[in-house]
Amino acid sequence: MNAIAKAERRHGVASPGLRELLACLVLLLVIGGFISVTVWRGVAFINVGYQIRDLERKQAEFLQLNRELKIERAMLSNPERIESAARSMLGMTEPSPDQIRMVR
């Protein structure tokens, strides 16, 4: 071993080959990290797309159900239908004049 190598070891200075290896390792870690982040963002973007599609499908289903319920409410609140159901199912009739009481 020559005197320069001994001095570098004593003072903690890395040899040129070790520096290059360390630089390559750091570069590989940075590139690997960049690739990992890029892939993760792509997967997250795809997952958000799937979530949006599912939510749009659910929204369409709820809008259809809302339309159906509005139609059903309109049919059930029809006064003629209510009167017909009261007469046929409950046996109700028009009150006679003596059955009507005025309340003050």
Model pLDDT, residue 18: 86
Range list of H helices, the chain: 3-10, 16-76, 79-90
- Where do the structural domains in the chain lie, given as residue ranges? 9-91
Distance CA 104, CA 101 (A): 10
Contacts of residue 22, defined as CB under 8 A and 6 or more positions apart, other chains included, come to 14
Q: What is the pLDDT of residues 78-100, one digit of tens each?
A: 999 888 888 899 899 888 888 88
Q: What is the pLDDT of residues 50-81, one digit of tens each?
A: 999 999 999 999 999 999 999 999 999 999 98
